[in-house]
Amino acid sequence: MIEIENVRKSFGPLEVLKGINLNVPKGEVLTVIGGSGSGKSTLLTCINGLEPIDSGKIVVDGVEVHARGSDLNKLRQKIGIVFQQWNAFPHLTVIENVMLAQQKVLKRSKAEAEAEAEKQLKHVGLGDKLKVYPSRLSGGQQQRMAIARALAMSPDYMLFDEVTSALDPQLVGEVLDTLRMLASEGMTMICVTHEMKFAREVSDRVAFFHKGVMAEIAPPDELFGAPKTPELQQFLSATH
């Protein structure tokens, strides 16, 4: 369970999160939509402690993320995150990319890490690319590799930060398919996305962020079917 309680966060004079309250129970697929600068990506990086927060608290499975003495490295094993830019380690082959953190962080043996990496890479459809370097992969393939890399840590939660935004349009589908597959397997996910169709299909709930505030949150049929706030109505008409 991820519990977000009255979280505020500023970058200099700009307040990007203005008191966010949100609970994400295990097994839920939550998508977060909203214009750029609405604070939705910042929230994700706060959840796994990559960004500090100014006030409020974020609790993951009973552990407060930003409390003094919280073991962030341990927490991050639980919470996988995939960014807009896939960030493949260019000096390692695809399988080594997926093995590295397993060996360093989880202290898995080389054989164990290799087996797990192979399993995850096959799962995302990269079983034939194990020994190549990331530079030989397309953006979509690199992004799927990044997903496999996060999944190999056996996380309880997955955060996806606009994972298709940097992709060529024809590559978006393969990455979304991977996310759909994960959702159907019961992974707890928070996806920040601009893909409205995708949000509609996979989400249990959709949250709409506007200028640092969570303006609306509802099941997709309700949120897309009957948007309450004028901001969301405007946002939806602009994106369609």
Partner 1 sequence: MFETALTYNDLMFLAKGAGMTLMVTAISVFIGTVLGIIFGVFRYQVGALWAMPLTFVLDVFRSIPLLIQLVLANAFITTVLKIKVSGLTVACGVLSLYTAAYCAEIVRGGIEAVPLPLRRAARSLGMTWGQDMTSVVMPLATRVALPSWIGLALGVMKDSALVYIVQVVELLKSTQILITRLQEPLFLLMICGLFYFVISFPIARFGGYLEKRWSND
Q: To the nearest whole angstrom, how small is the minimum distance from the Cβ of residue 105 to partner 1?
A: 4
The burial class, CB within 10 Å (0-12 / 13-18 / 19+), for 53 is: buried
Binding residues vs partner 1 (CB under 8 A): 48, 50, 73-74, 76-77, 80-81, 83, 85, 87, 89-93, 100-101, 104-106, 133-135, 146, 149-150, 153
In terms of CB distance, is 101 or 223 closer to partner 1? 101
For residues 175 and 145, give the distance between their C-alpha atoms in angstroms, rounded to a whole number.
Answer: 10
In terms of CB distance, is 97 or 203 closer to partner 1? 97
Helix/strand/coil percentages in the chain, nearest 5: 40, 25, 35
Q: To the nearest whole angstrom, how small is the minimum distance from the Cβ of residue 166 to partner 1?
A: 11
Q: To the nearest whole angstrom, how small is the minimum distance from the Cβ of residue 60 to partner 1?
A: 13
CA angle 93, 50, 38 (to 5 degrees): 110
Q: To the nearest whole angstrom, how small is the minimum distance from the Cβ of residue 51 to partner 1?
A: 10
In terms of CB distance, is 58 or 81 closer to partner 1? 81
Crossing angle of helices 110-123 and 139-151, rounded to 10°: 130
Task: Say whether 190 sits in a helix, a strand or coil.
Answer: strand
In terms of CB distance, is 98 or 206 closer to partner 1? 98
List, in sequence order, every residue forming a beta bridge with 29; answer none if it has no partner.
189
Q: To the nearest whole angstrom, how small is the minimum distance from the Cβ of residue 90 to partner 1?
A: 6
In terms of CB distance, is 1 or 72 closer to partner 1? 72
For residues 224 and 78, give the distance between their C-alpha atoms in angstroms, rounded to a whole number.
Answer: 31
Q: To the nearest whole angstrom, how small is the minimum distance from the Cβ of residue 5 to partner 1?
A: 22
In terms of CB distance, is 154 or 184 closer to partner 1? 154
